[in-house]
Structure 1
Amino acid sequence: MSQLEKLTELIGKGVSWCTLFIVLMTLAVVVLRYLFNTGATALQESALYLHGAVFTLAAGYTLKHDGHVRVDIFYRHFSSRNRHWVDFLGTLFLLFPVSLFIAYSCFDYVLASWKYAETSVEAGGLAYVYLQKSLLLLLVVSLLLQGAVELTKHGLALLHRDGPSLYKSEDDSNSGAEQ
Protein backbone atom coordinates (compact mmCIF):
# COMPACT_ATOMS: atom_id res chain seq x y z
CA MET A 1 0.00 0.00 0.00
CA SER A 2 1.45 3.37 -1.00
CA GLN A 3 1.96 6.20 1.44
CA LEU A 4 -0.87 8.15 -0.20
CA GLU A 5 -3.23 5.22 0.27
CA LYS A 6 -2.19 4.92 3.91
CA LEU A 7 -2.86 8.63 4.39
CA THR A 8 -6.27 8.31 2.71
CA GLU A 9 -7.10 5.30 4.90
CA LEU A 10 -6.01 7.12 8.06
CA ILE A 11 -8.05 10.22 7.23
CA GLY A 12 -11.12 8.15 6.33
CA LYS A 13 -11.03 6.12 9.51
CA GLY A 14 -10.34 9.20 11.62
CA VAL A 15 -13.19 11.16 10.06
CA SER A 16 -15.56 8.23 10.58
CA TRP A 17 -15.39 8.94 14.32
CA CYS A 18 -16.93 12.35 13.62
CA THR A 19 -20.24 10.63 12.94
CA LEU A 20 -20.41 9.49 16.56
CA PHE A 21 -19.76 13.03 17.73
CA ILE A 22 -22.42 14.36 15.36
CA VAL A 23 -25.00 12.02 16.90
CA LEU A 24 -23.97 12.94 20.45
CA MET A 25 -24.03 16.68 19.70
CA THR A 26 -27.41 16.44 18.02
CA LEU A 27 -28.74 14.51 21.02
CA ALA A 28 -27.38 17.20 23.33
CA VAL A 29 -29.01 19.96 21.25
CA VAL A 30 -32.38 18.16 21.38
CA VAL A 31 -32.11 17.52 25.13
CA LEU A 32 -31.14 21.14 25.82
CA ARG A 33 -33.94 22.48 23.65
CA TYR A 34 -36.81 20.26 24.77
CA LEU A 35 -35.91 19.41 28.35
CA PHE A 36 -34.20 22.61 29.44
CA ASN A 37 -35.74 25.09 26.99
CA THR A 38 -32.23 26.33 26.11
CA GLY A 39 -30.68 26.87 22.71
CA ALA A 40 -27.16 25.75 21.90
CA THR A 41 -26.27 27.47 18.64
CA ALA A 42 -22.53 26.77 18.86
CA LEU A 43 -23.15 23.09 19.55
CA GLN A 44 -25.65 22.88 16.69
CA GLU A 45 -23.21 24.56 14.31
CA SER A 46 -20.42 22.26 15.49
CA ALA A 47 -22.50 19.25 14.47
CA LEU A 48 -23.17 20.90 11.12
CA TYR A 49 -19.45 21.62 10.60
CA LEU A 50 -18.54 18.03 11.46
CA HIS A 51 -21.16 16.79 9.03
CA GLY A 52 -19.49 18.83 6.28
CA ALA A 53 -16.08 17.53 7.35
CA VAL A 54 -17.23 13.92 7.08
CA PHE A 55 -18.39 14.35 3.51
CA THR A 56 -15.50 16.46 2.27
CA LEU A 57 -12.58 14.78 4.01
CA ALA A 58 -13.81 11.22 3.41
CA ALA A 59 -14.20 11.67 -0.36
CA GLY A 60 -10.75 10.24 -1.08
CA TYR A 61 -11.38 7.32 1.27
CA THR A 62 -14.68 6.61 -0.47
CA LEU A 63 -12.94 6.71 -3.84
CA LYS A 64 -10.26 4.31 -2.56
CA HIS A 65 -12.92 1.81 -1.51
CA ASP A 66 -14.97 2.28 -4.72
CA GLY A 67 -17.90 3.58 -2.69
CA HIS A 68 -19.03 6.43 -4.94
CA VAL A 69 -22.27 6.10 -6.83
CA ARG A 70 -21.85 4.35 -10.15
CA VAL A 71 -24.43 3.55 -12.78
CA ASP A 72 -23.23 0.06 -13.60
CA ILE A 73 -25.74 -1.21 -16.09
CA PHE A 74 -22.90 -2.07 -18.44
CA TYR A 75 -19.89 -1.84 -16.14
CA ARG A 76 -20.73 -4.91 -14.06
CA HIS A 77 -20.73 -7.05 -17.20
CA PHE A 78 -17.39 -5.72 -18.46
CA SER A 79 -14.23 -7.77 -18.36
CA SER A 80 -11.61 -6.81 -15.80
CA ARG A 81 -9.54 -5.11 -18.51
CA ASN A 82 -12.48 -3.03 -19.73
CA ARG A 83 -13.25 -2.01 -16.15
CA HIS A 84 -9.67 -0.80 -15.80
CA TRP A 85 -10.12 1.24 -18.98
CA VAL A 86 -13.36 2.79 -17.72
CA ASP A 87 -11.83 3.63 -14.35
CA PHE A 88 -8.61 4.94 -15.89
CA LEU A 89 -10.37 7.16 -18.41
CA GLY A 90 -13.04 8.21 -15.90
CA THR A 91 -10.37 9.31 -13.44
CA LEU A 92 -8.38 11.11 -16.11
CA PHE A 93 -11.23 12.83 -17.95
CA LEU A 94 -13.91 13.20 -15.26
CA LEU A 95 -12.46 13.11 -11.74
CA PHE A 96 -9.45 15.34 -12.39
CA PRO A 97 -11.24 18.03 -14.44
CA VAL A 98 -14.23 18.17 -12.06
CA SER A 99 -11.93 18.39 -9.03
CA LEU A 100 -9.90 21.16 -10.63
CA PHE A 101 -13.10 22.97 -11.58
CA ILE A 102 -14.29 22.79 -7.97
CA ALA A 103 -10.93 24.19 -6.81
CA TYR A 104 -11.09 27.00 -9.35
CA SER A 105 -14.72 27.79 -8.54
CA CYS A 106 -14.36 27.93 -4.78
CA PHE A 107 -10.85 29.36 -4.35
CA ASP A 108 -11.92 33.03 -4.27
CA TYR A 109 -14.90 32.12 -2.07
CA VAL A 110 -12.61 30.48 0.49
CA LEU A 111 -9.99 33.20 0.20
CA ALA A 112 -12.57 35.95 0.86
CA SER A 113 -13.79 34.07 3.91
CA TRP A 114 -10.22 33.90 5.28
CA LYS A 115 -9.57 37.55 4.42
CA TYR A 116 -12.46 38.70 6.59
CA ALA A 117 -12.08 35.92 9.19
CA GLU A 118 -15.73 35.11 8.55
CA THR A 119 -17.81 34.20 11.57
CA SER A 120 -21.30 32.86 12.05
CA VAL A 121 -24.18 35.24 11.50
CA GLU A 122 -26.08 33.57 14.37
CA ALA A 123 -25.85 34.95 17.89
CA GLY A 124 -23.73 32.52 19.89
CA GLY A 125 -22.51 30.83 16.70
CA LEU A 126 -18.99 29.69 15.92
CA ALA A 127 -16.29 32.10 14.90
CA TYR A 128 -14.53 29.86 12.39
CA VAL A 129 -16.69 29.77 9.27
CA TYR A 130 -13.57 30.24 7.15
CA LEU A 131 -12.22 26.89 8.37
CA GLN A 132 -15.44 25.19 7.33
CA LYS A 133 -15.24 26.73 3.87
CA SER A 134 -11.62 25.58 3.58
CA LEU A 135 -12.89 22.01 3.60
CA LEU A 136 -13.93 22.58 -0.02
CA LEU A 137 -10.27 22.83 -0.98
CA LEU A 138 -9.38 19.81 1.16
CA LEU A 139 -12.07 17.89 -0.71
CA VAL A 140 -10.22 18.64 -3.93
CA VAL A 141 -6.86 17.67 -2.43
CA SER A 142 -8.19 14.35 -1.12
CA LEU A 143 -9.80 13.50 -4.46
CA LEU A 144 -6.75 14.47 -6.50
CA LEU A 145 -4.34 12.51 -4.28
CA GLN A 146 -6.44 9.36 -4.27
CA GLY A 147 -7.24 9.91 -7.95
CA ALA A 148 -3.50 9.86 -8.71
CA VAL A 149 -3.24 6.55 -6.86
CA GLU A 150 -6.22 5.12 -8.75
CA LEU A 151 -4.88 6.34 -12.09
CA THR A 152 -1.53 4.67 -11.37
CA LYS A 153 -3.15 1.39 -10.26
CA HIS A 154 -5.41 1.17 -13.30
CA GLY A 155 -2.64 2.27 -15.64
CA LEU A 156 -0.30 -0.41 -14.31
CA ALA A 157 -3.05 -3.02 -14.56
CA LEU A 158 -3.57 -2.05 -18.21
CA LEU A 159 0.17 -2.23 -18.96
CA HIS A 160 0.64 -5.61 -17.29
CA ARG A 161 -1.94 -7.89 -18.85
CA ASP A 162 -0.86 -10.86 -16.74
CA GLY A 163 -0.81 -8.98 -13.43
CA PRO A 164 -3.37 -9.42 -10.69
CA SER A 165 -6.68 -7.70 -11.24
CA LEU A 166 -8.11 -5.18 -8.83
CA TYR A 167 -11.57 -6.63 -9.41
CA LYS A 168 -13.26 -9.83 -8.40
CA SER A 169 -13.52 -12.34 -11.18
CA GLU A 170 -16.67 -12.20 -13.23
CA ASP A 171 -17.74 -15.53 -11.72
CA ASP A 172 -17.50 -14.11 -8.17
CA SER A 173 -19.46 -10.94 -8.97
CA ASN A 174 -22.24 -12.70 -10.88
CA SER A 175 -22.71 -15.61 -8.48
CA GLY A 176 -24.17 -13.36 -5.77
CA ALA A 177 -26.64 -11.79 -8.19
CA GLU A 178 -27.98 -15.09 -9.45
CA GLN A 179 -28.69 -16.66 -6.06
Structure 2
Amino acid sequence: MALLTFLIVVLRYGFDLGWIGLQESVMYLHAGVFMLGAAFTLKENGHVRVDIFYRRMSPKQQAYVDIFGALFLLLPVCLLILFKSGEYVMNSWRLLESSQAAGGLPLVFILKTLILCFAITLVLQVIAEVARLVFSLSNGFQDEQDASYSSTKTGA
Protein backbone atom coordinates (compact mmCIF):
# COMPACT_ATOMS: atom_id res chain seq x y z
CA MET A 1 0.00 0.00 0.00
CA ALA A 2 2.85 2.39 0.85
CA LEU A 3 4.65 1.57 -2.39
CA LEU A 4 1.48 2.03 -4.36
CA THR A 5 0.92 5.43 -2.73
CA PHE A 6 4.51 6.37 -3.53
CA LEU A 7 3.96 5.30 -7.16
CA ILE A 8 0.78 7.40 -7.39
CA VAL A 9 2.61 10.48 -6.08
CA VAL A 10 5.59 9.98 -8.43
CA LEU A 11 3.32 9.47 -11.45
CA ARG A 12 1.11 12.44 -10.61
CA TYR A 13 3.74 15.01 -9.69
CA GLY A 14 6.70 13.65 -11.62
CA PHE A 15 5.03 12.69 -14.88
CA ASP A 16 1.63 14.42 -14.67
CA LEU A 17 -0.13 11.04 -14.94
CA GLY A 18 -2.97 9.77 -12.79
CA TRP A 19 -5.41 6.91 -12.73
CA ILE A 20 -8.52 6.95 -10.58
CA GLY A 21 -8.47 3.16 -10.35
CA LEU A 22 -4.95 3.21 -8.95
CA GLN A 23 -5.94 5.79 -6.37
CA GLU A 24 -9.05 3.84 -5.42
CA SER A 25 -7.01 0.67 -5.02
CA VAL A 26 -5.10 2.36 -2.17
CA MET A 27 -8.42 3.22 -0.53
CA TYR A 28 -9.56 -0.41 -0.89
CA LEU A 29 -6.33 -1.70 0.62
CA HIS A 30 -6.55 0.82 3.44
CA ALA A 31 -10.14 -0.20 4.19
CA GLY A 32 -9.15 -3.87 4.14
CA VAL A 33 -6.34 -3.36 6.62
CA PHE A 34 -8.55 -1.50 9.09
CA MET A 35 -11.77 -3.45 8.68
CA LEU A 36 -10.20 -6.89 8.65
CA GLY A 37 -7.53 -6.05 11.22
CA ALA A 38 -9.86 -4.74 13.94
CA ALA A 39 -10.59 -8.17 15.46
CA PHE A 40 -6.91 -9.13 15.42
CA THR A 41 -6.05 -5.83 17.08
CA LEU A 42 -8.60 -6.59 19.80
CA LYS A 43 -7.10 -10.06 20.25
CA GLU A 44 -3.62 -8.57 20.63
CA ASN A 45 -4.96 -5.80 22.89
CA GLY A 46 -3.67 -3.17 20.49
CA HIS A 47 -6.58 -0.75 20.65
CA VAL A 48 -5.96 2.65 22.16
CA ARG A 49 -7.37 3.12 25.61
CA VAL A 50 -7.21 5.78 28.27
CA ASP A 51 -5.96 3.76 31.19
CA ILE A 52 -5.49 6.32 33.95
CA PHE A 53 -7.41 4.11 36.37
CA TYR A 54 -7.22 0.79 34.52
CA ARG A 55 -3.47 0.29 34.86
CA ARG A 56 -3.69 0.61 38.65
CA MET A 57 -6.36 -2.08 38.89
CA SER A 58 -5.72 -5.69 39.78
CA PRO A 59 -5.96 -8.28 36.99
CA LYS A 60 -9.34 -9.34 38.39
CA GLN A 61 -10.68 -5.79 38.29
CA GLN A 62 -9.28 -5.31 34.79
CA ALA A 63 -11.08 -8.47 33.69
CA TYR A 64 -14.38 -7.14 35.04
CA VAL A 65 -13.86 -3.81 33.25
CA ASP A 66 -12.98 -5.62 30.02
CA ILE A 67 -16.04 -7.86 30.26
CA PHE A 68 -18.31 -4.89 30.94
CA GLY A 69 -16.82 -2.90 28.06
CA ALA A 70 -17.06 -5.83 25.68
CA LEU A 71 -20.65 -6.79 26.53
CA PHE A 72 -22.22 -3.37 27.03
CA LEU A 73 -20.22 -1.14 24.70
CA LEU A 74 -18.37 -3.01 21.96
CA LEU A 75 -20.80 -5.88 21.31
CA PRO A 76 -23.91 -3.66 20.95
CA VAL A 77 -22.08 -1.35 18.54
CA CYS A 78 -20.86 -4.30 16.46
CA LEU A 79 -24.34 -5.83 16.37
CA LEU A 80 -25.85 -2.48 15.37
CA ILE A 81 -23.32 -2.16 12.55
CA LEU A 82 -24.01 -5.74 11.48
CA PHE A 83 -27.78 -5.40 11.36
CA LYS A 84 -27.94 -1.86 9.96
CA SER A 85 -25.40 -2.50 7.20
CA GLY A 86 -26.88 -5.78 5.95
CA GLU A 87 -29.41 -4.27 3.57
CA TYR A 88 -26.92 -1.58 2.52
CA VAL A 89 -24.41 -4.22 1.47
CA MET A 90 -27.05 -6.46 -0.15
CA ASN A 91 -28.31 -3.55 -2.28
CA SER A 92 -24.76 -2.91 -3.41
CA TRP A 93 -24.41 -6.58 -4.40
CA ARG A 94 -27.74 -6.54 -6.26
CA LEU A 95 -26.48 -3.64 -8.35
CA LEU A 96 -22.90 -4.95 -8.53
CA GLU A 97 -22.10 -1.38 -7.59
CA SER A 98 -19.05 0.17 -9.12
CA SER A 99 -17.21 3.43 -8.69
CA GLN A 100 -19.03 6.60 -9.68
CA ALA A 101 -15.76 8.07 -10.95
CA ALA A 102 -14.80 7.50 -14.56
CA GLY A 103 -11.98 4.97 -14.62
CA GLY A 104 -12.74 3.85 -11.06
CA LEU A 105 -12.78 0.27 -9.85
CA PRO A 106 -15.94 -1.74 -10.44
CA LEU A 107 -15.73 -3.35 -6.98
CA VAL A 108 -17.59 -1.05 -4.61
CA PHE A 109 -19.87 -3.93 -3.60
CA ILE A 110 -16.83 -5.88 -2.39
CA LEU A 111 -15.54 -2.85 -0.51
CA LYS A 112 -18.89 -2.49 1.24
CA THR A 113 -18.82 -6.19 2.14
CA LEU A 114 -15.87 -5.39 4.39
CA ILE A 115 -18.33 -3.64 6.70
CA LEU A 116 -20.08 -6.96 7.36
CA CYS A 117 -16.77 -8.80 7.67
CA PHE A 118 -15.61 -6.19 10.18
CA ALA A 119 -18.71 -6.60 12.34
CA ILE A 120 -18.76 -10.41 12.18
CA THR A 121 -15.08 -10.90 13.00
CA LEU A 122 -15.25 -8.35 15.81
CA VAL A 123 -18.35 -10.02 17.32
CA LEU A 124 -16.58 -13.38 17.22
CA GLN A 125 -13.48 -11.92 18.86
CA VAL A 126 -15.57 -10.20 21.55
CA ILE A 127 -17.17 -13.56 22.37
CA ALA A 128 -13.75 -15.22 22.52
CA GLU A 129 -12.34 -12.45 24.75
CA VAL A 130 -15.29 -12.58 27.15
CA ALA A 131 -15.08 -16.37 27.33
CA ARG A 132 -11.35 -16.20 28.04
CA LEU A 133 -11.83 -13.58 30.73
CA VAL A 134 -14.68 -15.48 32.40
CA PHE A 135 -12.57 -18.64 32.35
CA SER A 136 -9.63 -16.75 33.84
CA LEU A 137 -11.81 -15.25 36.55
CA SER A 138 -13.27 -18.63 37.44
CA ASN A 139 -9.74 -20.07 37.71
CA GLY A 140 -8.44 -17.11 39.67
CA PHE A 141 -5.83 -16.13 37.07
CA GLN A 142 -3.79 -19.21 38.00
CA ASP A 143 -2.08 -19.66 34.64
CA GLU A 144 1.08 -17.73 33.82
CA GLN A 145 -0.49 -16.85 30.49
CA ASP A 146 -3.35 -15.10 32.29
CA ALA A 147 -0.94 -13.12 34.44
CA SER A 148 1.21 -12.17 31.47
CA TYR A 149 -1.90 -11.08 29.56
CA SER A 150 -2.97 -8.74 32.30
CA SER A 151 0.53 -7.30 32.62
CA THR A 152 0.68 -6.60 28.88
CA LYS A 153 -2.66 -4.85 29.13
CA THR A 154 -1.34 -2.53 31.82
CA GLY A 155 1.86 -1.78 29.96
CA ALA A 156 4.04 -3.42 32.63
What amino acid maps onto 2:130 in structure 1?
A: L
> How far apart in 1 are the matches of 2:52 and 2:13?
47
Query: Which of residues 125, 131, 146 is equivalent to 1:146?
Result: 125
Structure 1: gaps (5+ residues): 1-21, 174-179
Count of aligned pairs: 151
Structure 2: gaps (5+ residues): none
> How far apart in 2 are the matches of 1:35 and 1:168?
49
> How far apart in 1 are the matches of 2:141 and 2:41?
28
RMSD of aligned Cα (Å): 1.7
- TM-score normalised per structure 2: 0.91
Query: Which of residues 14, 19, 26 is equivalent to 1:35?
Result: 14
Contact kept in structure 2, 1:42 and 1:125, CA below 8 Å:
yes
In the alignment, structure 1 residue 107 sits paired with structure 2 residue 90: no
| Superposition deviation, residue 33 in structure 1 | 1.2
More relative contact order in 1 or in 2 (CA 8 Å, sep 6+)?
2
In the alignment, structure 1 residue 57 sits paired with structure 2 residue 36: yes
> How far apart in 2 are the matches of 1:162 and 1:148?
19
In the alignment, structure 1 residue 82 sits paired with structure 2 residue 65: no
What amino acid maps onto 1:66 in structure 2?
A: N
| Superposition deviation, residue 162 in structure 1 | 5.1
- TM-score normalised per structure 1: 0.79
Contact kept in structure 2, 1:117 and 1:130, CA below 8 Å:
yes
What amino acid maps onto 1:80 in structure 2?
A: P
1:20-31 equivalence runs, <5 A: 22-31=1-10
Contact kept in structure 2, 1:32 and 1:40, CA below 8 Å:
no
| Superposition deviation, residue 148 in structure 1 | 1.4
